[in-house]
């Protein structure tokens, strides 16, 4: 009898990554780039290729906060500089491009306009999503979603 090690694949995790349109033209980036990179501040070891990442635009100049795109991680978190194609969407292209933990994302779908996004107000009206981290601690960059939060957001996104 041989000893066979059976590895089970870890379940995929879903995330919300937040972008500030005051420093990054997030709407333009998700519409024009097939792939981008995103700064990773927490939970680096929990992130894996294939994880789903919803991109959240923070409120800015009377534009509502909420999810404007769905993406997928296509690499592991790696210390890297922001690539040139992403820097062109920085509000200040002369800002320091520092080598930091980032992950590559493939943009799967994006909202053509604000009417089709999942607004923060929809999170607030949901019993489950109203207590999500993006609502309770809105100053972060990377938010892990519970399975239930991910399921609700997946359904909301699919209905757009």
Q: Which residue has the tokens 């709407």?
A: 27
CATH code of the domain made up of 14-158: 3.10.590.10
The pLDDT of 26-45, averaged and rounded, is 97
Question: What is the pLDDT confidence band of residue 11, given thresholds at 50, 70 and 90?
Answer: confident
DSSP letter string, 104-134: EEEEEEE-SSGGGSEEHHHHHTSTTGGGSHH
Q: Which two tokens stand for residue 59?
A: 């409120």
- Map out the domains of the chain as residue ranges: 14-158
DSSP letter string, 67-82: EEEEEEE-S--EEEPP
Q: How far apart are CA 4 and CA 71, in angstroms?
A: 36
What's the pLDDT tens digit per position in 40-75? Answer: 999 999 999 999 999 999 999 989 999 999 999 999
Phi, psi dihedral angles at 88 (to 5 degrees) = -60, -15
Burial class of residue 139 in the structure, from the number of CB atoms within 10 Å of its CB (0-12 exposed, 13-18 middle, 19+ buried): exposed
Stated pTM of the model: 0.92
Report the run of H or E that residue 131 belongs to, with start and end.
Answer: none
12 pLDDT above the threshold of 90: no
Q: Which residue has the tokens 């792939």?
A: 35
pLDDT at 1 (0 to 100): 47
Residue 154: strand, helix, or coil: helix
- Distances in Å between the Cα of 87 and the Cα atoms of 14, 43, 54, 158 are 26, 24, 20, 30
């Amino acid at each position: 009898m041989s000893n066979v090690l059976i590895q089970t694949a870890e379940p995929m995790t879903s995330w919300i990554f937040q972008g500030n349109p005051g420093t990054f033209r997030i709407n333009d980036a998700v519409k024009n780039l097939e792939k981008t990179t995103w700064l990773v501040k927490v939970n680096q070891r929990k992130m894996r290729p294939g994880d789903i990442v919803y991109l959240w635009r923070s409120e800015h100049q009377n534009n509502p906060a909420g999810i404007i795109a769905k993406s997928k991680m296509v690499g592991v978190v790696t210390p890297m500089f922001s690539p040139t194609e992403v820097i062109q969407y920085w509000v200040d292209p002369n800002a320091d491009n520092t080598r930091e933990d980032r992950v590559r994302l493939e943009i799967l779908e994006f909202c053509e306009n604000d009417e089709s996004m999942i607004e923060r107000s929809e999170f607030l009206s949901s019993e489950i999503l109203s207590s999500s981290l993006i609502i309770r601690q809105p100053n972060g960059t990377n938010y892990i979603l519970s399975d239930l939060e991910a399921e609700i957001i997946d359904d909301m996104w699919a209905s757009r």
